[in-house]
């Protein structure tokens, strides 16, 4: 029987390239150019750039293919990428049995049964940051939510107080995030990265000190650091796991919280509705586990924000073997990118996708949803290890701040910026007033 020849991957011609350039000029961010290419070329297209020749997949079918059906044909680890050089043997950049072993060790420390103590930490961290806010002043919630996220992550997962170290390590944190963000290294792998080595040494010093203090105890303890020590891992491998969660965990929460306040502050009706719900559910008390489920509208706001501005807006894999997808051949060694951002804004699956509409996620909504059309935490066996943690954190922190402050957006135009996560650029500037 004759075989059907595989098709060549669609590649941008001059017209498509002009359309992408025009979209970038109009909207001021790279993802607008991606949207234009998707409109012109479809759900599978090749993106040939100097030093980067990858394939982009879009849509629920592509997501399921890559994350579930053919996941064993792809690998995460790319030796030349900065994120691999930074995290070394971290769970995020390992494959196969080693990844599964690390994940199994770390999962108990992120289980829902420990969330009651986590919620108390989340409240304390939010209160520590907002106690510095002066009534009627302007604050950048991108910066402030990073402070909250760092305090939360270190106190809950590492059982340590990051507050005294925040000022000293802040530049190192930002430098490290910039190091793994998209940039010239994509087309020039050897580009000089000034200041990076010093930043990593400072973070390594913190983590090795933390590990040493914990080893000095009689038994590791029930937190993440203790679990990794009890598993018999070396200091270097423990460092890799801690740095992975430190960078990936706090940066995704930073983006999620900042974008949620942006969508609320720029949609006064939604803000009023969310605040009314928070007041009715919480009263004068801080959020507890019992309050989480009744905060239904706030949950819808957080989910809709993650649809429009998913902190992890794309996923990247390397084809381990020659792969066939929808009649196209993807050669082994090809970088394959699946776009969560484009899937979340695909009009075939989301009516009026550019519109902020939290009621899409209301229980009574009858809007149909296809599997893998919404995946802010990825999907399949390698979905985000801290997904449940992040959802609880977002609801607790946003509720606590709305309970105590009015926020009014006073910034200018905000665009999504591709860093390690999808950030609001230049930030989320608001005026805060105590309630």
Query: Is 74 strand, coil or helix?
Result: strand
> Is 338 exposed, middle or buried, given 0-12, 13-18 or 19+ CB atoms closer than 10 A?
buried
Q: Which of 263, 272, 274 is nearest to 309 (CA)?
A: 263
Question: If one looks up domain 1-75+314-375 in CATH, what number appears?
Answer: 3.30.43.20
Q: How far apart are CA 315 and CA 337, in angstroms?
A: 6
Residue range 267-291, pLDDT digits in tens:
999 999 999 999 999 999 999 999 9
Give the C-alpha distances (Å, rounded to integers) separating 249 from 110, 311, 384.
12, 11, 10
Q: Which of 397, 250, 363, 337 is nearest to 38 (CA)?
A: 337
Domain boundaries, the chain: 1-75+314-375, 76-312+376-434
pLDDT over 90 for what percent of the chain? 83
Q: 76-312+376-434 domain in CATH 3.30.930.10?
A: no
- The reported pLDDT for the residue numbered 1 is 40
pLDDT in tens for each of the 435 residues of the chain?
444 456 888 998 889 989 999 999 999 999 999 999 999 999 999 987 766 778 999 999 999 999 999 999 999 998 888 999 999 999 999 999 999 999 999 998 887 667 778 999 999 999 999 999 999 999 999 999 999 999 999 999 999 999 999 999 999 999 999 999 887 666 666 777 878 999 999 999 999 999 999 998 866 567 899 999 999 999 999 999 999 999 999 999 999 999 999 999 999 999 999 999 999 999 999 999 999 999 999 999 999 999 999 999 999 999 999 999 999 999 999 999 999 999 999 999 999 999 999 999 998 877 778 999 999 999 999 999 999 999 999 999 999 999 999 999 999 999 999 999 999 999 999 999 999
The overall pTM is greater than 0.85: yes
């Amino acid at each position: 029987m004759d075989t059907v020849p595989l098709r060549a991957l669609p590649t941008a011609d001059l017209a498509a390239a002009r359309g992408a350039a025009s979209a970038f000029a109009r909207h001021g961010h790279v993802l607008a150019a991606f949207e234009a290419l998707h409109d012109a070329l479809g759900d599978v297209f090749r993106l040939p750039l100097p030093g980067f020749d990858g394939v982009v997949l879009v849509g629920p079918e592509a997501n399921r293919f890559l994350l579930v059906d053919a996941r064993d044909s792809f690998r995460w680890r790319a030796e030349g990428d900065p994120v691999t050089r930074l995290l070394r043997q971290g769970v995020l950049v390992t494959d196969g049995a080693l990844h599964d072993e690390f994940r199994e060790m770390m999962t108990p420390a992120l289980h829902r049964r420990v969330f009651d103590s986590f919620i108390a930490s989340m409240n304390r961290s939010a209160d520590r940051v907002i106690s510095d806010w002066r009534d009627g002043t302007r604050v950048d919630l991108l910066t402030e939510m990073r402070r909250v996220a760092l305090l939360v992550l270190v106190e809950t997962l590492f059982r340590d107080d990051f507050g005294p170290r925040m000022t000293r390590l802040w530049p190192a944190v930002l430098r490290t995030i910039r190091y793994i963000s998209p940039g010239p290294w994509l087309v020039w792998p050897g580009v000089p990265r000034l200041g990076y080595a010093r930043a990593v040494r400072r973070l390594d010093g913190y983590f090795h000190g933390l590990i040493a203090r914990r080893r000095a105890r009689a038994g590791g303890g029930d937190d993440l650091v203790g679990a990794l020590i009890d598993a018999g891992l070396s200091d270097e491998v423990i460092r890799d796991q801690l740095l992975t969660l430190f960078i990936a965990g706090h940066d995704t929460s930073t983006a999620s919280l900042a974008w949620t306040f942006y969508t609320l502050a720029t949609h006064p009706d939604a803000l009023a509705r969310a605040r009314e719900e928070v007041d009715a559910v919480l009263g004068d008390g801080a959020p507890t586990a019992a309050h989480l489920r009744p905060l239904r509208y706030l949950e819808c706001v957080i989910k809709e924000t993650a649809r429009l501005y998913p902190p992890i807006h794309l996923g990247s894999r390397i084809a381990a073997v020659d792969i066939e997808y929808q009649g196209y051949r993807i050669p082994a060694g090809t970088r394959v990118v699946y776009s969560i951002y484009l899937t979340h804004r695909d009009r075939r699956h989301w009516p009026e996708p550019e519109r902020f509409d939290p009621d899409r996620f209301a229980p009574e909504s009858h809007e149909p949803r296809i599997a893998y059309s919404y995946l802010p935490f990825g999907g399949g066996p390698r979905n985000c290890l801290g997904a449940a943690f992040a959802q609880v954190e977002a609801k607790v922190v946003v509720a606590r701040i709305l309970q105590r402050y009015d926020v009014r957006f006073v910034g200018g135009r905000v665009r999504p910026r591709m860093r390690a996560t999808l950030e609001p650029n230049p930030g989320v500037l608001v005026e805060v007033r105590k309630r």
